[in-house]
Structure 1
Amino acid sequence: PNFADEFKIDDDEGKGTGLFLSDEPKAIFSKNPIHYGGILDKNGNKIARISPELNAIPGWLEDREQMFHDGILYDYFKDNIKELYIKQTNDFAGGRGFETMSELAGILGFDKPDENDRWLFDKHVGAMKNLLPITLYANEKDELFSNKIKTNRNDKNFNKNSAKIVLCTRFEEDNRLKPERDISELFSLPDPLLRVFVAKPSDAVKLLKSPDLLKKAQLYIEKLSCEVLQKANALEANRKLFNENDILEYFRKHKKERKLAATLIKEHLKYQKQKAPDIVNCFKYYKEFEKMCLELDGTKL
């Protein structure tokens, strides 16, 4: 899922997702601003929907850069690999991430995670991935939560004179690389994963020079962050619209997509089958797909 185009702002630094103080966060998220890509219409053209669909499968299968890369990576590095450690996705999820990273730290020699950060490994960090970062263009001329935009969203002068405040997660690249721009301590945030930073030091100056603007920004970020968390929970609920059995049934009915998936997965898993067959053999739904391909197409994966 991605933010729809109507929430893009064009300023001197290029196009980015942004909001104004006059935008009502609840109204924004009630309009389903998040669209799902990878869905094709009857003519094979990509379209956007507000919910994930099984019809997105062909789009993802054809976008090889997004996934199906393990076989290619191993081919590239195999001459330099002395030892290979294979872990399952489940080893990094469901509260097992802390132990797994501690184990890998002992093997690969990086710093072990701090026990005080154990809570972080129990969080689903990706829940807010497609919602953040969001840039708030805080301008004294805007009336808070009025839902009336007093200027053109792409007015470069207005955007330039606004304080650019970014609501993001603690893992946002700019926030990690430029910690001096972190102004989270000025805001009341409902989740420890959230952070607030300014795009430039001059944006912090604009806020600190105007107590009224800072207060507006604090109220806005507090409300916006609560709406982001609610939307993240709704997106997570959407994941239950269909399950693995529905996906298997899709492939049973769609021969072309089934054959393409079989080709990709065969390339994707060839080294796992050689190096860790016990792991591949415990993939319940993959084994069902493997059986299906053999029965319907005579294809052995």
Structure 2
Amino acid sequence: MAALNIISYHHSIIPYNINNPRHFCPKLQSLSFKKPLIFPAKKLTSRVVVSAMASGSVKETLPAALDSSSDPPAIFDGTPKLYISYSCPYAQRAWITRNCKGLQETIKLVPIDLKNRPAWYKEKVYPENKVPSLEHGNEVKGESLDLIRYIDSNFEGPSLFPHDLARREFGDELLDYTGSFYKAVTTSLKESRMDEAVAAFDHVETALSKFDDGPFFLGKFSLVDIAYVPFVERFQAFFSEVKNYDITRGRPRLAVWIQEMNKIEAYKQTQRDPKEYVESYRKRFLSSSL
């Protein structure tokens, strides 16, 4: 396997076998933090990931989304199932994590048509009737940030959270900020102004300067990158097409981060046509003044 400039992380130690083809996802270090998010500027590191996560190289034939006319899968049959929507950024987080852990053959992907949801999903699987959710053992768990931590901590594969305290603390802080990031950008879209969105993207640029041993938020690839990328992917497409605004302009760290993320096969397999994102966001956020 080509060398990866990535370190594994986890809340607990998980055996890692480099000779196991299911364990080809980059290792990552663990992270947490309670510090202010203003950091001194640092020179961009020249290190990059030498190759994409090999665990993501497992090619899947993606199943069709289940709708109101579809029969349910065999529920609580002992096979872990990740219920997602192909278009949902929150579900994409859990999907990427599954792929990065090399769990394509362990956790079955069950896509749901959110516009025509099957009644059995709410009745028999997840009363919240949202995605993502994970059926594991005799329980179903939800909420994307909780799920990516759960998948990382409870399944085999390379750890996706750093071990050292400084990175763990900063990682926790960045995970907590994802909601504020999304709200700031979407508020700008709803109100047809750029100030909050610009500040949010600047905040991300600054956070990417915290560690200089790699192009990712914690230096090494981690759950933090997984948490942000579905939204950055959509915002980049929408702002470019609708606002004629390049979110990477004047933000070199963000530009490098996007480039490196796009080399990761485990993530690339979850991407959709950017035109879908643009049309979806047009319907949700586009005002007459845009």
TM-score bracket, shorter-length normalisation: under 0.3
Query: What TM-score, normalized by structure 1, do the two folds share?
Result: 0.26
Q: Which has the larger radius of gyration?
A: 1
Query: What TM-score, normalized by structure 2, do the two folds share?
Result: 0.27
* Larger relative contact order, structure 1 or 2 (CA cutoff 8 Å, min sep 6): 2
